[in-house]
Amino acid sequence: MRHLPYYSSRLLIAGFLGSVLLAASGSAAEAPVIAPEKVTWKPSSIFEKDAKGEDLKDQPRMNLSGAACVPTTPKFTSCLVANDEKKYAQFFSINATTLIPLKLIRLSDADKDPDAEGVAYAEGFFYVTGSHGRSRNSDKPNESSYAVFRFPVNPVTGIPPFEVTEKDVAKEIESTNRLHDVIRNACVINAKPPADDCSIKNFHDKKLADGGVNIEGVAVKDGRIHFGLRGPSQDSKAYLLSVDAKALFSKNDDLKSKATSLPLGKDVGIRDLATISDGILVLAGPTREEDVRYAVWLWDGVGNNARKLATLDLDGIDKAGKAEILLPLDESAANIRVLVMFDSIENGGAVSFSIPR
């Protein structure tokens, strides 16, 4: 056997170790660009109701934002999607590649809609979050958006223990505005320099057009409820707020709040969150109208780093569409299948992707 010179052996070993370290950090190779699966997804009927009016039942929704499902058997018999710009959400189910819109459920009786943007499920509860921010160019606070709702469902069947109606808010539907105070005071605490990052606090109650705080995604894992912010995005970082899920719906319990920043890129915000077995998927995209490609990242739900899994090839999607729903379909050791749906496309314009881990 021919032996390599000492210095050559050292170089080979160093190169091998460097490759291992890069792979472990998720930066060894650029994340792939993934095209949608060649599958046609369609609704069995329209998602209701059109944003133009309460009575336009024959007009499909153009403002779906956020969805989650109860892990029923069979799967996907009880899912919920937020009807942005309205005071209700809508149940749906999935059969093969067909989305089946079901009953509407009223969430709020406030004068204005809560600007619902995200949906999550965990341990017998659906959660729906308002944006907690102003609209794009509004000069006035949007007080009705400072709300998070939850209501119980049977964890086996996904059926609520009360009558589901679009007319009245059931007494079992809880709402809280405690997150508003968290936003007012939120800073990412750094144990060592640089100084604490108070971008969330500093952009509280500013217009979306000016980078104001705007929640778009929500996920619950290990007793913590995580809120992903579309804005602000500062120094190539996007932001999350996390609190104790049970405490959020109490009056005085310690929320144990935490602000986190993730280095997702310039002008990149969080458009949705979704829980999977080993962490939380982050759907990332432009904070406003920037030329930023949508991508999916994996965050462990604790630290301040995430691993980019894939950039989504949306070249065949209507340019008006904004990806705002990331719904896990199934996962294996090798891949995660997800459904992506869009704001500003009729009925969400669903497409699916198989994303390598």
User: Cβ distance 171 to 149 under 8 Å?
Assistant: no
| pLDDT reported for residue 8 | 42
Check whether residue 107 and residue 18 sit in a common domain. no
Structural domain count of the chain: 2
| pLDDT reported for residue 56 | 52
Q: Which of 24, 39, 36, 66 is nearest to 310 (CA)?
A: 36
pLDDT for 217-267, tens place per residue? Answer: 999 999 999 999 999 999 999 999 999 999 999 999 999 999 999 999 999
pLDDT for 192-226, tens place per residue? Answer: 788 899 999 999 999 888 999 999 999 999 999 99
Check whether residue 16 and residue 60 sit in a common domain. no
Query: Would the pLDDT of 21 be above 50?
Result: no
DSSP label of 3: P
Q: Which two tokens stand for residue 275?
A: 């829980």
Check whether residue 200 and residue 90 sit in a common domain. yes
Residue 1: partners with Cβ closer than 8 Å, 6 or more residues away: none
Check whether residue 14 and residue 106 sit in a common domain. no
Query: Would the pLDDT of 25 be above 90?
Result: no
| pLDDT reported for residue 54 | 52
pLDDT for 276-306, tens place per residue? Answer: 999 999 999 999 989 999 999 999 999 999 9
Query: Would the pLDDT of 73 be above 80?
Result: yes
Q: Rounded to whole angstroms, how far apart are CA atoms 44 and 176? A: 34
Exposure string over 243-273, b if 16+ CB within 10 A, otherwise e = bbbebbbeeeeebebbbbbbebbebbbbbbb
Query: Would the pLDDT of 85 be above 90?
Result: no
User: Cβ distance 128 to 115 under 8 Å?
Assistant: no
Check whether residue 186 and residue 92 sit in a common domain. yes
Query: Would the pLDDT of 347 be above 60?
Result: yes
Query: Would the pLDDT of 275 be above 90?
Result: yes
One DSSP character per residue, 309-329 reads EEEE--TTS-TT-EEEEEEEE
pLDDT for 165-175, tens place per residue? Answer: 999 999 999 99
Check whether residue 23 and residue 66 sit in a common domain. no
In the three-class reduction of DSSP (H, G, I as helix; E, B as strand; rest coil), residue 209 is classed as: helix
pLDDT (average), residues 312-336: 96
pTM, full prediction: 0.90
User: Cβ distance 78 to 61 under 8 Å?
Assistant: no
User: Cβ distance 338 to 323 under 8 Å?
Assistant: no
| pLDDT reported for residue 113 | 87
Query: Would the pLDDT of 348 be above 90?
Result: yes
| pLDDT reported for residue 3 | 45
Query: Would the pLDDT of 24 be above 60?
Result: no
| pLDDT reported for residue 138 | 73
pLDDT (average), residues 86-106: 95
Q: Which of 154, 173, 146, 180 is nearest to 89 (CA)?
A: 173
* Helix/strand/coil percent split, the chain, to 5: 10, 40, 50
Check whether residue 18 and residue 165 sit in a common domain. no
pLDDT (average), residues 42-71: 80
DSSP label of 63: -
CATH code for position 132: 2.115.10
| pLDDT reported for residue 295 | 98
List the domain range (segments joined by +) for residue 21: 1-30
pLDDT (average), residues 12-33: 51
Check whether residue 72 and residue 117 sit in a common domain. yes
Residue 17: partners with Cβ closer than 8 Å, 6 or more residues away: none
CA atoms within 13 Å, Cβ hemisphere of 203:
25
Q: Which two tokens stand for residue 293?
A: 């490609």
The lowest-confidence range among 116-125, 186-195, 222-231 is 186-195
Query: Would the pLDDT of 78 be above 90?
Result: yes
Check whether residue 2 and residue 38 sit in a common domain. no
Average pLDDT of every residue of the chain: 89
Q: Which two tokens stand for residue 276?
A: 């999977």
Check whether residue 154 and residue 11 sit in a common domain. no
Task: Return the residue matching tokens 């912010």.
Answer: 229
Check whether residue 26 and residue 40 sit in a common domain. no
Strands of 268-276's sheet in order across:
33-34, 306-312, 295-299, 279-286, 268-276
Check whether residue 16 and residue 105 sit in a common domain. no
| pLDDT reported for residue 57 | 58
